[in-house]
Amino acid sequence: MSVGIWTFAFDTRPIGEVVEAAREIEELGFESIWCGEYRGREAFTQAGLLLAATEKLTVATGIARFGERTPLAAAAAGRTLAEAHPGRFVLGLGGHLPGDRPLRRFTEYLDGMDNAGLISPAAPYRRVLAALGPRMLELAASRTDGAHSYFVPPEHTAIAREAVGPKGYLVVEQSVVLDPDPASARQAAREFVGQYVGMAAHHRANLRRLGFTDDDLTEVSDRLVSAIVASGEQAVHDRIRAHLDAGADHVCVQVISDGLPRAEWRVLADLV
C-alpha cells in the first residue's frame, strides 16, 4: 500500500514537537506528509521545515491556497524546495480566488506560474490540483501532474482516475477514526463530516453528484458518515485498499483526533 499522513495538527503544536513527529512518521514507514493551510503555518515554510527534518519522506502542500500568494511566489517557492530536496516535494494547489468565473481564474493562475520567468535553477517537482468536480478534474489533467481529492469515498476515486487518465498522479485523502469505543468513534466521525458539510458548498455539491440527498446532508446520515470516514482498524485497512483498487496512486490518511495523534499513527503503520 502506498500510504502517507494528512494532517492539520502540526499548526497548533510547537515546531520542535512537529519536527519530532515528522521524524517518527518517516521511521514508521509512511511515504509522505500532506499538510493543509488554514490560519496556521504558511504552507511552503512548513514544508521546508519538514523536508529539512527528514531524509526521504515526501512532503506535500495539501493544499497551498491560491489566494495566499502570487503565481510567481508559488512557482519560486516550489522550485526552491524541489532544488533543495530533489524528488521529495509535491505542490498541491487549491482554494478560492476572488471574483466570478473561478475556473478561468485558476487557469490564469497556472499560466502565471508557468510563465513566471524564474532565473533560479530549474528543479522539477509534481504539481497537483485540488479537484472534485468534472471541470476541476479536467483542469488538473490538462495543466498539472494530477489531482488531490479530499473528503471523498472510493466511488469518487474511480471517477477521478478516469478524468485524469492512466498517467495522472492521483492522491486521495481518507479520514479515519481509530477510537476503540464504537459510540465515541461514531460521534467523532459525525462531527467531522457535519463540519465540512455545513461550511463547504463545494463538498455538498460533490456529495450530491455522488448520489447523496439533501436529507443525507441535513441529517448527516449514517450512510454519509460511513462513506466519508472509516472507523475501526479493519475498516481503515479495507478503505485504503478500496481507494487504491479504484485507481488512487497514493492515499494520505487523516486521523480524526484531538491534538497530535502519534499513538494512532503507530496503529495505522501496523495496519498498512
User: What is the tens place of the pLDDT at every residue in 239-265?
Assistant: 999 999 999 999 999 999 999 999 999
Band (pLDDT 50/70/90 cuts) for residue 2 is very high
Would strands 229-231 and 250-255 be described as parallel, antiparallel, or unpaired? Answer: unpaired
- The model carries a pTM of 0.97
Helices 71-84 and 43-53, axial angle in degrees (round to 10):
0
Band (pLDDT 50/70/90 cuts) for residue 1 is confident
pLDDT digits (tens, 9 = 90+) for 170-193: 999 999 999 999 999 999 999 999
Domains of the chain in start order, with CATH, are 3-174+230-271 (3.20.20.30)
Q: Is the pLDDT of residue 201 over 90?
A: yes
In the chain, pLDDT over 70 holds for what percent of residues? Answer: 100
The per-residue pLDDT for 33 is 98
In the chain, pLDDT over 90 holds for what percent of residues? Answer: 97
The per-residue pLDDT for 169 is 98
DSSP 118-184: --SPP---EEEEE--SHHHHHHHHHHSSEEEE-S--HHHHHHHHHHH-TTSEEEEEEEEE--S-HHH
Is 66 exposed, middle or buried (CB count within 10 Å of its CB: 0-12, 13-18, 19+)? buried
Q: How many CA atoms are closer than 13 Å to the CA of 205, on its beta-carbon side?
A: 8
CA 6/CA 184 separation, integer angstroms: 22
CA 136/CA 130 separation, integer angstroms: 8
Amino acid identity for residue 69 in this structure: R
Compute the average pLDDT of residues 225-249. 98
Cell of 253: 490518511
Q: Is the pLDDT of residue 4 over 90?
A: yes
CA torsion sign for 204, 207, 211, 213 is negative
pLDDT digits (tens, 9 = 90+) for 54-93: 999 999 999 999 999 999 999 999 999 999 999 999 999 9
Band (pLDDT 50/70/90 cuts) for residue 151 is very high
Q: Is the pLDDT of residue 98 over 90?
A: no
Q: Is the pLDDT of residue 135 over 90?
A: yes
Q: For the chain, what is the mean pLDDT?
A: 97
